[in-house]
Amino acid sequence: MYVCLNCFSDLELKSYIDSSSKEVGECSFCKTKAIRILAIEELLDFFTELLDLFVQNSDGNELRVFIQNDWNLFANDAIATEILKGIFGKIDHSLNTPDDKVSYVPEIDENISFWIQLKEDVKWQRRYLLDLKSFEDFGWDSFFYGTVTYNNSERFYRARIHNNENESIYSIEKMGPPSKDKVGSGRANPQGIPYLYLSKTTKTTLFETRALFQDEVSVGEFKVRDGFEIDIVDFTEPLSAFVGSGNLVEYTKRIQLKRLIGKDLSKPIRRYDSDIEYIPTQFICEYVRYIIGADGILFNSSLDLYGQNIVLFNQDKMECINVRKYIVSRLDIEFEEITP
């Protein structure tokens, strides 16, 4: 049996198949003709390591659904089922079918559960004197090391909505964060501690400020100051099951944890939210700032589908170099009914 790159969504795996294939033919699964194909036996080690992440659990989800939801490995569910059947026919494993009910092995589940429990603890139990030994036990320090670095070639954006029609464009000096006495709680910053929230595009920052139809907005363009770099912990890192060499369990723990925290960072702030809901992500930002020593964080926007935001803990390395004024000319709204 042969697979081809069209059978998969994982970019790393697609690239591996394309570069490792030595023949062209018809794929046994998606039936694509005249394409680079690879014997399924070449992927047995990879799939064995992937399947070792899971254990039988009658309360869990079907294996193929679990893999697709968390890893987006296969091109579609039908191909997922057929390839997994082919794999199970060639290996000896405790799992037997694509429909086996599974959960992650305890080591991964415990790591994920620790974040869920930590959120409850910092909100309702103790907030300032946490036992950081638990972080060492779970290896969290290593999860947050490995940052992305930006220099002065990158551009970022921050928007401020005007209070009045035909108001003059804001000056560069007014595009930074609020002063300490005026800053409220946010997903990243506690009340009274200003962080600089930026987006990677003008469109994203307009979404993030909740600009409405016909609002006039000043948008500042920011860059890293000459001679500096900023190191950012990336909470947008894509999850790829095909990571080559390395410990897949440790990799999964790291990426799944950062994805969970990234989702919490991306949650839009609603007008009826309590400040208590922000405490867990504020805590993570202080951990990243003072324990890891990073300059900020990168996370996905929940308001702009492909947008990304950064938060800088200290704005001294960043400067606003230009401000433009816009008017919001169109809005798209999608909604769905909530069943009582």
Q: What pLDDT, on the 0 to 100 scale, is given for residue 102?
A: 96
b/e burial code for range 49-71 (CB count within 10 A of at least 16 → b): bbbebbbeeeebbbbbbbbbebb
pLDDT over 70 for what percent of the chain?
98
Average pLDDT, the chain: 91
To the nearest whole percent, how much of the chain has pLDDT over 90? 70
Q: What is the pLDDT of residues 151-201, one digit of tens each?
A: 999 999 999 999 999 999 999 999 999 899 999 888 999 999 999 999 999
The alpha carbon dihedral of 318, 175, 177, 270 has a sign of negative
At residue 83 the predicted structure's pLDDT band, cuts being 50, 70 and 90, is: very high
**Residue 215's pLDDT band (cuts 50, 70, 90):** very high
Decide which of 322 and 267 is more confident: 322
What is the pTM (predicted TM-score) of this model? 0.86
pLDDT in tens, 87-142: 999 999 999 999 999 999 999 999 889 899 999 999 998 877 777 777 777 777 78
pLDDT(327) > 90: yes
Residue 244 scores a pLDDT above 70: no
Give the model confidence (pLDDT) of 259-290 as tens digits.
Answer: 899 999 998 777 777 888 899 999 999 999 99
